[in-house]
Amino acid sequence: MSQNIKADLSQDAYKKAVIFLSELDDSWAQHIATVGPCRHEAKSNREPYEALIRAIAYQQLHTKAGDAILKRFLALYPEVSFPEPEQLLQTDPELQRACGFSASKLATIRGIALAKVQGEIPSLEEAKCLSDEALVEKLIPLRGVGRWTVEMFLIYSLERSDVLPVDDYGIREGYKRLKSLEKAPTSSQMRKIGEMWSPFRTIAAWYLWRLPNR
């Protein structure tokens, strides 16, 4: 396994991260004390193919809306927990579209299924041996799959502990609220700021996502 792969999201790692982040400054300490222990939940048994499709379903949507669309989609395949790529491709696109996917999202989802059939998407075991950047470079050429989508896979399926999705609106807005800023940082600014949170950037992201609107 590559030396730059950090995949420790154990309870012990959470405790270390909380101590580390709380010692950064008072704003972090107060926010973490308010939220409490990190309860990030990964789905480490999901294949990249499934994880990418699930991430696309939630892209640019509130969680409840994504949940509803995904539930309708999975209801098309009652005999399995998640459809195999061949099964997905054999389904009438209009039935899938009726679940609530935009035309663009459905094209992306079917493209991911086709890429899996064609061997362009690694298995879970193969992905575990690749660094974050190697996986980003391998997967973002897929239609509709951007860095954010791959980062969700890194965080939730591979349990990588040092990932900060700087293009995520909630991350940048969360930092704005944490620091009482007038304007949220740009993605490039957020990336630079987040360097000081390494090697616990995934945990930092979890806490930033939990800052209330104010």
Residues acting as catalytic residues: 168
Residues in the chain, how many? 214
| CA–CA dist 199, 163 (Å, integer) | 9
Retrieve residue 109's tokens.
């989802």
Q: Which of 3, 8, 66 is nearest to 203 (CA)?
A: 8
CA 103, distance to chain mean position in Å, is: 22
How many angstroms separate the CA atoms of 180 and 105, rounded?
A: 35
The token duo for 197 is: 């949170």
Phi, psi of 105 (to 5 degrees): -65, -40
DSSP-derived secondary structure letter, 158: S
Cis upstream peptide for 185 (omega within 30°):
no
